[in-house]
Amino acid sequence: MPAIKIWVHCVWSTKNRLPILTHPIRNLLFDHIRKNAGLKQIHIDRLNGHLDHVHCLLLLKSTQSIGEIIKLIKGESAYWFNNRSGIKNSKLQWQSEYFAISVSESMVPKLRMYIDGQEIHHEKKTFGEEYNEFIKYYDFSVDEQTRD
């Protein structure tokens, strides 16, 4: 059996960054994502976000790919959200793009605190500003034509 421990920080947003992840809907959605991920053997260490996006710290297994995990989480959570009779908010759609970066073991505690503090963090900075800083800091090239 391979011994693998790969931490991944994933971030994705609502379609057109619509601010529909309000309280208490956001908490219900995040609880559902955690439960559903557990059923699919996806280990989510931290999950939080703000009105228009989600941060997720997960452990990747040898049999999993980031793309498959994100597709499962986003697809199933939007389906659950949109078919839940108690939620009368806008229809939830996720943008197709996402951000994912590996995280060293030594940075996990700091990243946990950052994810846990999303509401306070976004009093000072919008998700758009934060996303652009991530792209620049990690030197990702983003094709503006593919954004949805």
Residue spans of the chain under pLDDT 50: 144-148
Question: Does residue 121 lie within any of the structural domains?
Answer: yes
Question: Does residue 54 lie within any of the structural domains?
Answer: yes
Domain CATH for 58: 3.30.70.1290
67 is in which domain, residue-wise? 6-146
Instruction: Give the model's pLDDT for residue 148.
Output: 47
Question: Does residue 93 lie within any of the structural domains?
Answer: yes
Domains identified in the chain, total number: 1
β-bridge pairing 6-13 and 53-60: antiparallel
Full-model pTM: 0.86
Instruction: Give the model's pLDDT for residue 85.
Output: 60
Cβ distance 97 to 141 under 8 Å? no
Report d(CA 53, CA 9) in Å as an integer: 13
Question: Does residue 10 lie within any of the structural domains?
Answer: yes
Cβ distance 74 to 94 under 8 Å? yes
Question: Does residue 1 lie within any of the structural domains?
Answer: no
